[in-house]
């Protein structure tokens, strides 16, 4: 068993990270397994060994493929030492003394010293958040706990005199630790601004509202609960 993290998987490519695709969730046992090998002989569409169906393999039906990152090692919001079992094709954690039971018999197998046995790294949330600060006329947006090496869509709206003065958006790339820094200019007289950051890789929205007065800058941050709540307005 891993350390209890709630891992985040992605369907998308990472431009700066090596990934392996063809990972699916089994329709019957819900295990994440690799379907990139030829099907079981005489069992079209089946791979490995499914514990929910003795003698049968995993199957996924019509489903989207997951892409797993490899070769990154441990880091903030990331856990390595996830391996592919040669026998049942399932993903298992090899970072502890117990590898778990394989439905093919014995424990999961995957030689850790074999270069063909990839060291997968899973990201775990996340609870993304952003902090907005102002040093006139520069507005700085600091993001944390987003998808490592992923993309974030940042949008901002500047309002003054009951009218929108500026409403723009941009896409930035996170660093390996899942953080980013983005700046833009807010010149002239204005009443308040709203900044939104959207984790494009995992579809996780987060919202920061900032209300300015002549004497102070108040920041209030809360994650949105749905796509509608986080939509650009």
Amino acid 208: pLDDT: 60
Which of residues 124, 156, 181 is at a domain's end?
A: 124
Indicate whether 5 and 31 sit together in one domain.
yes
Residue 193 bridge partners (DSSP):
158, 210
CA–CA dist 193, 206 (Å, integer)? 15
Which of residues 76, 101, 124 is at a domain's end?
A: 124
Q: pLDDT-derived band of residue 38, with 50, 70 and 90 as boundaries? A: confident
Indicate whether 82 and 176 sit together in one domain.
no
In the chain, % of residues over pLDDT 90 = 21
Amino acid 231: pLDDT: 30
Indicate whether 18 and 114 sit together in one domain.
yes
- Tens of pLDDT, residues 192-224: 888 989 888 766 666 665 555 433 344 433 333
Domain range holding 134? 129-230
> For residue 57, what is the enclosing H or E element?
none
**What's the distance, CA 165 to chain centroid?**
34
> For residue 29, what is the enclosing H or E element?
none
CA-based torsion, 102, 90, 121, 147: positive or negative: negative
Indicate whether 9 and 108 sit together in one domain.
yes
Q: pLDDT-derived band of residue 49, with 50, 70 and 90 as boundaries? A: very high
CA proximity to 126, closest of 225, 204, 40: 204
CA dist 92 to 34, 100, 151, 185, 186, Å? 11, 8, 28, 48, 50
Phi-psi region of 227 (alpha: psi -120 to 50; beta: other; left: phi over 0): alpha
Indicate if the pLDDT at residue 28 is higher than 80.
yes
Indicate whether 118 and 75 sit together in one domain.
yes
Indicate whether 189 and 105 sit together in one domain.
no
Q: Between these two residues, 161 and 130, which has the higher pLDDT value? A: 130
Phi then psi dihedrals of residue 228, to 5 deg = -65, -40
Phi then psi dihedrals of residue 25, to 5 deg = -95, 125
Name the domain count of the chain: 2
Indicate whether 45 and 160 sit together in one domain.
no
CA–CA dist 25, 27 (Å, integer)? 6
- Tens of pLDDT, residues 93-136: 887 777 889 999 898 987 665 555 788 888 776 678 888 888 87
Indicate whether 34 and 102 sit together in one domain.
yes
User: What angle is formed at CA 107 by the lines to CA 101 and CA 111, rounded to 5 degrees?
Assistant: 140
User: Count of CB atoms within 10 A of residue 23's CB?
Assistant: 21
Of 74-78, 81-85, 186-190, 223-227, the one with minimum mean pLDDT is 223-227
Could you check whether the bond before residue 137 is cis, i.e. omega within 30 degrees of 0? Answer: yes
Indicate whether 58 and 133 sit together in one domain.
no
Residues written for the chain? 233
CA-based torsion, 102, 17, 197, 140: positive or negative: positive
Indicate if the pLDDT at residue 188 is higher than 70.
yes
Amino acid 27: pLDDT: 92
> For residue 47, what is the enclosing H or E element?
none
């Amino acid at each position: 068993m891993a350390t209890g993290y709630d891992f985040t998987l992605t369907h998308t490519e990472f431009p700066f990270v090596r990934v392996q695709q063809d990972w699916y969730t089994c329709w019957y046992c819900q295990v994440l397994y690799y379907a990139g090998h030829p099907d079981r002989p005489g069992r079209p569409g089946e791979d490995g060994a499914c514990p929910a169906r003795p003698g049968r393999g995993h199957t996924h039906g019509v489903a989207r493929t997951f892409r797993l990152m490899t070769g990154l090692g441990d880091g903030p919001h990331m856990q390595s030492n996830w391996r592919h079992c040669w026998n049942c094709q399932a993903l298992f954690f090899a970072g502890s003394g117990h590898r778990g039971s394989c439905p093919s018999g014995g424990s999961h197998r995957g030689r850790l010293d074999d270069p063909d046995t990839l060291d997968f790294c899973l990201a775990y949330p996340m609870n993304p958040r952003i902090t907005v600060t102002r040093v006139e006329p520069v507005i700085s947006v600091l993001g944390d706990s987003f998808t490592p090496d992923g993309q974030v869509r940042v949008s901002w709206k500047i309002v003054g005199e009951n009218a929108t003065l500026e409403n723009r958006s941009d896409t930035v790339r996170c660093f390996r630790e899942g953080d980013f820094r983005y700046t833009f200019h807010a010149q002239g007289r204005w009443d308040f601004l709203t900044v939104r950051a959207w984790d494009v890789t995992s579809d996780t929205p987060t919202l920061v509202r900032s209300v300015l007065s002549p004497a102070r800058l108040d920041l209030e941050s809360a994650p949105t609960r749905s796509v509608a709540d986080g939509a650009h307005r």
